[in-house]
Amino acid sequence: MNLTRRPRRNRRTEVIRNLVQENHLSVNDFIYPIFVLEGENKANEITSMPGIFRYSTDKMLDEIAACVDLGVKAFAPFPNIDESKKDRFATESYNPEGLFPSFIREVKRNFPEVVLMTDVAMDPYSSDGHDGIVDNGEILNDATLEILAKMALEQARAGADIIGPSDMMDGRVGFIRERLDQNGFQNVSIMSYTAKYASAFYGPFRDALDSAPKFGDKKTYQMNPANSREALLEAELDTAEGADYLMVKPALAYLDVIKSLRDHSHLPIAAYNVSGEYAMIKAAAQNGWINGEKAMLECLLGMKRAGADIILTYFAKEAAQLLKG
């Protein structure tokens, strides 16, 4: 054959392949979501997330130290709140002496350079298991904003670097921004869960926090998986309201949304590689059906290729070990 163009020439050897590689994974891109428990000396594995543990604060500090050694220096903690402390208004979420603010202070005291992105939503603290106030089966938007702002302010006071509203209430980014600024927290950022879909892939996370909705679903606030233009509308609003980063969640079934936000925004874009995406790879790998490490790296790289600058992933530590090689 007389072929002028032979793309295989650029795939001939490993060194050549490395030269022409377009996208790279780096530990610098990762935020590691972690689950914090009350008490001391506690570690329990989440059944639906093999290899991921809920840790009490003391044990989590050891875990963070191990991650920092591997180059993972940004974390997204989530608190597992005792059922007895949950109520309709998520009051525990803005208790300055509660598990979460105390944990934030401990981490910042021990690891000042570590970046903490803290989640803002009512569900871990809500007796209804919803992200907003429930009134007669309806999720109230505007009344919820006040609770979210109180929660965000306590997190900022405790030392959070980035506030991550994951609740999908309208107007919450601007509302939280204003509350932070009024209290002198101009330097605390907001990473908005901009396009957060009503997804089946959050199941294992809800096991981890015992935070599944007690009735109904989250479809009146989380987005319809069928929609992509709506993600651009959310991105426009979050940007106007002062978000510093935009996030798409989940990642794998929404790579087109990541790409679309990347193409339409100048802000950094984050992808949340969620619990169910982690569980699928782990389950298949445990059965010997796929090579778990290769599948993990391929998925993470896919998120970068789609345009994510940042990846929140339960694989952060494992991927860091492999990248270190």
Interaction between residue 131 and ligand PBG (CB under 6 A): yes
Please state the closest distance from residue 201 (CB atom) to ligand PBG, in A.
6
Please state the closest distance from residue 133 (CB atom) to ligand PBG, in A.
14
Please state the closest distance from residue 192 (CB atom) to ligand PBG, in A.
12
Write out the binding residues for ligand PBG, residues 254-293 only, by CB under 6 A: 274-275
Please state the closest distance from residue 120 (CB atom) to ligand PBG, in A.
8
d(CA 88, CA 277): 30
Nearer to ligand PBG, 121 or 232 (CB): 121
ω into 250 cis (within 30 of 0): yes
Please state the closest distance from residue 96 (CB atom) to ligand PBG, in A.
21
Interaction between residue 205 and ligand PBG (CB under 6 A): yes
d(CA 62, CA 66): 6
Number of residues that bind ligand PBG (CB under 6 A): 11
Q: Which stretch binds ligand PBG (CB under 6 A): 16-24, 145-153, 202-210, 279-287?
A: 202-210
Whether the CB-CB separation of 113 and 67 falls below 8 Å is answered with no
Whether the CB-CB separation of 105 and 77 falls below 8 Å is answered with no
Strands (E), the chain: 30-37, 43-45, 53-56, 74-80, 115-120, 133-135, 138-140, 162-165, 189-196, 245-249, 269-273, 310-313
Tell me, yes or no, if 317 is annotated catalytic.
no
d(CA 63, CA 45): 14
Tell me, yes or no, if 196 is annotated catalytic.
yes
Whether the CB-CB separation of 258 and 195 falls below 8 Å is answered with no
Interaction between residue 80 and ligand PBG (CB under 6 A): no
Interaction between residue 202 and ligand PBG (CB under 6 A): yes
From candidates 121, 147, 308, 316, binder to ligand PBG by CB under 6 A: 121
Please state the closest distance from residue 162 (CB atom) to ligand PBG, in A.
14
Phi, psi of 25 (to 5 degrees): -95, 140
Write out the binding residues for ligand PBG, residues 147-166 only, by CB under 6 A: 166
Phi, psi of 56 (to 5 degrees): -70, 165
Helix spans in 87-246 (H): 99-110, 142-158, 172-182, 203-209, 229-240
Write out the binding residues for ligand PBG, residues 10-69 only, by CB under 6 A: none
Interaction between residue 206 and ligand PBG (CB under 6 A): yes
* Per annotation, catalytic residue among 59, 150, 196, 304: 196
Helix spans in 111-228 (H): 142-158, 172-182, 203-209
Per-residue tokens: 146: 């006040």
Interaction between residue 310 and ligand PBG (CB under 6 A): no
Residues in Cβ contact with 106 at an 8 Å cutoff, skipping those fewer than 6 apart: 57, 61
Q: Which stretch binds ligand PBG (CB under 6 A): 1-9, 178-186, 199-207, 225-233?
A: 199-207
Nearer to ligand PBG, 55 or 202 (CB): 202
Interaction between residue 92 and ligand PBG (CB under 6 A): no
Other Cβ atoms less than 10 A from the Cβ of 71: the count is 15
Nearer to ligand PBG, 29 or 167 (CB): 167
* Per annotation, catalytic residue among 249, 282, 304, 317: 249
Binding residues vs ligand PBG (CB under 6 A) = 119, 121, 123, 131, 166-167, 202, 205-206, 274-275
Which amino acids are annotated catalytic? 196, 249
